[in-house]
Amino acid sequence: MARRLLPLAVLMGGLLAGCSTLESITPSFDSLNPFASKGPKMAELTPIQATAELRQDWNYQIGKAGNAVFYPAVAGNAVFVAAADGSIAKLEGGQAVWRINAGKPLSAGVGSDGVTVVVGTGTGEVLAFSARDGSPLWQARVSSEVLAPPLVEGDMIVVRSGDNRVVALDAQGKRKWLYQRPTPTLSLRSTAPMMIADRFVLTGFPGGKLVALALHNGAPVWEGTVALPKGATELDRVADVVAQPAAGGPLGCAVAYQGRVTCFDFSQGGNTVWSRDISSAAGLTLDSRSVYVTDDSSAIQALSLDSGGSLWKQDKLFMRRVTAPMTAGRNYLAVGDAQGVVHLLNRDDGAFAARFTTDGSPINSAPQRLGNQILVQTRSGNVYALDVQ
């Protein structure tokens, strides 16, 4: 039991009353966790032989994330950011075009298509604003707290609530469809974004499932098994997909905590192509050759997109709570860690190419792509745009 409990404690907090959901990590969790002082220690960074350079283009302070995880939204040249105190801003070139306060604390964001900006609250409110000037458009309510950034696609806003229901709202905030499925007794809270691939909404669920929902009506088009729950206890059987899936061409891949990396063929109704036993709550990405995943020890692994075979493993960031990777520049990967460091790795062999230190607070959401730049937001609320040289 202890072998399973220690990695879980690093990633999550305690049980929530009533719904038996394991909570994501909070800033104060180490002081409450009886295993924290006995668990594996975070690796110290050692000097690297830099082969590239990360330079700050701009930095903007939006406000602290608190216990939430906020993702910047990129729409063209504009960046939309939010903070726990209700602050929302539209940035262009690092300068605020507008900045407003939603008037209530926020728990998730940001979703935007460049026309509408959408955020969520811990009481299940969905708030929409004009991307042009930040003026309020409408409010709606879902069944429980909103933890993941809403997905905005044209006149459709898709929201996932903390009870694992997926709701689509129209451009006026009226419900168009609802998808829900049975939830295991014990599951993890997910802050991961959903994604759209081939007119489907792709999202993971407790029990190791990846589901493709038709965007226009929410009907399940196919369901893939990323991992099968197994073990003697409910804690052992937690095998949830709590990270954003990745897609490219006909393939889509997802990873489960205490589970596997599995890739599916969209063109064949979601048939499984291959699986590898790698556990992750951070996530993965892919390019035309490889799948890159951050595992539960914070090692970044590269797998062959065709077969799942191992290509390389970078394990020098042990237990640094590394984010999912993002492909960057000509041939790099970017990840952030718990001390606010952005690491640039070579995609060919996983070697470190460059580092950039932000404000020292954790980077909890995966880096985003802003043109040719890398965009990160820290828990302290600083948003950085970095150039790769």
Residue 80 sits in a domain whose CATH number is 2.40.128.630
77 shares a domain with 6:
no
Instruction: For residue 363, give the nearest of 294, 314, 285 by alpha carbon.
Output: 294
Confidence band (pLDDT; 50, 70, 90) for 18?
A: very low
Tens digits of per-residue pLDDT, 145-164? 999 999 999 899 999 999 99
Query: Do 180 and 193 form a contact (C-beta atoms < 8 A)?
Result: no
Query: Does some domain include residue 231?
Result: no
140 shares a domain with 77:
yes
Query: Do 226 and 243 form a contact (C-beta atoms < 8 A)?
Result: no
75 shares a domain with 183:
yes
Query: Does some domain include residue 345?
Result: no
Name residue 330's amino acid: R
Distance CA 174, CA 313 (A): 47
Domain C-terminal end among 141, 170, 190: 190
Confidence band (pLDDT; 50, 70, 90) for 182?
A: confident
Instruction: For residue 292, give the nearest of 341, 348, 354 by alpha carbon.
Output: 348
Given a cut of 50, whether residue 5 has pLDDT beyond it is no
Tens digits of per-residue pLDDT, 309-366? 999 999 999 999 999 999 998 899 999 999 999 999 999 999 999 999 999 999 999 9
Query: Does some domain include residue 216?
Result: no
30 shares a domain with 87:
no
Does the reported pTM lie above 0.85?
yes
Query: Does some domain include residue 236?
Result: no
Given a cut of 90, whether residue 15 has pLDDT beyond it is no
Domain coverage including residue 4: 1-40
Handedness of CA 162, 163, 165, 170 (dihedral sign): negative
**Mean pLDDT of the chain, nearest integer:** 91
78 shares a domain with 35:
no
Tens digits of per-residue pLDDT, 225-255? 999 999 999 999 999 999 999 999 999 999 9
Given a cut of 70, whether residue 286 has pLDDT beyond it is yes
Which residues, 6 or more positions from 37, have their beta carbon under 8 angstroms from its beta carbon?
none
Domain C-terminal end among 190, 221, 237: 190
21 shares a domain with 93:
no
Query: Does some domain include residue 251?
Result: no
169 shares a domain with 100:
yes
Distance CA 258, CA 12 (A): 13
Given a cut of 60, whether residue 141 has pLDDT beyond it is yes
pLDDT of residue 35: 38
Domain C-terminal end among 190, 225, 243: 190
Confidence band (pLDDT; 50, 70, 90) for 21?
A: low
Tens digits of per-residue pLDDT, 60-102? 999 999 999 999 999 999 999 999 999 999 999 999 999 999 9
Query: Does some domain include residue 50?
Result: no
Give the Å distances, CA to CA, from 311 to 16, 26, 348, 349.
39, 34, 9, 8
Given a cut of 60, whether residue 14 has pLDDT beyond it is no
pLDDT of residue 39: 76
The number of distinct structural domains making up the chain is 2
120 shares a domain with 29:
no
Instruction: For residue 374, give the nearest of 361, 358, 359, 350 by alpha carbon.
Output: 358
Residues counted in the chain: 389
Given a cut of 70, whether residue 190 has pLDDT beyond it is yes
Confidence band (pLDDT; 50, 70, 90) for 20?
A: low
Query: Do 335 and 324 form a contact (C-beta atoms < 8 A)?
Result: yes
Name residue 2's amino acid: A
pLDDT of residue 166: 98
% of the chain surpassing 90 pLDDT: 85
185 shares a domain with 83:
yes
Query: Does some domain include residue 377?
Result: no
Given a cut of 60, whether residue 278 has pLDDT beyond it is yes
- What average pLDDT does range 132-151 have in this prediction? 98
Worst-scoring range by mean pLDDT, 181-185, 190-194, 218-222, 303-307?
181-185
26 shares a domain with 121:
no
